[in-house]
Structure 1
Amino acid sequence: MIRRLSSARAALRRLNADSSGATLVEFAFVGPVLILMILGLFDIAHTQYTSSVLHGAMQKAGRDLTLENANGRQAAIDTRVRQQIETVMPSGAQVDFIKLSHADFADIGEPEDILGDDPSNAAGNGVCEGAKNERYIDANNNGRWDADRGKTGIGGARDAVLFTARVTYPRMFPLFTMTGMPRNVTLEASTVLRNQPFDEQDKTRIERNCP
Structure 2
Amino acid sequence: MTRRPFLRWLRRNEAGNAVVEFALTAPLFLIILLGILDFSWQFYAKLELQGVVNAAARAATLEGNALSQTALDNEVRRKVLNVFPRGEVTFVRKAYDSYSEVGDPEAFTDGNGNGRYDSGECFEDVNGNASWDADRGQTGNGGAEDIVLYTASLKMTRVLPIWKFMGQSEQSTLVASTVLRNQPYNAATSTKQVICT
Common fold by TM > 0.5: yes
1:145 Cα deviation (Å)? Answer: 0.8
Superposed, which structure 2 residues align to 1:1-211 within 5 Å? 6=2, 15-89=10-84, 91=86, 93-115=87-109, 118=111, 121=113, 125-130=115-120, 134-210=121-197
Letter in 2 for 1:142: N
Compute the TM-score of the two structures, normalised by the length of structure 2: 0.88
1:10 Cα deviation (Å)? Answer: 6.1
Specify the SS of the correspondent of 1:69. Answer: helix
Q: What root-mean-square deviation, in Å, do the aligned CA atoms of Structure 1 and Structure 2 show?
A: 2.3
1:13 Cα deviation (Å)? Answer: 5.5
Structure 2: 5+ residue stretches without partners: none
| Contact 2:128-2:192 within 8 A present in 1 as well | no
Specify the SS of the correspondent of 1:64. Answer: helix
**Following the alignment from structure 1 to structure 2, what is the Cα–Cα distance between the partners of residues 69 and 126?**
41
Structure 1: 5+ residue stretches without partners: none
Letter in 2 for 1:110: D
Letter in 2 for 1:113: A
The structure number with the bigger radius of gyration is 1
1:12 Cα deviation (Å)? Answer: 5.6
Specify the SS of the correspondent of 1:178. Answer: helix
1:34 Cα deviation (Å)? Answer: 0.8
Compute the TM-score of the two structures, normalised by the length of structure 1: 0.83
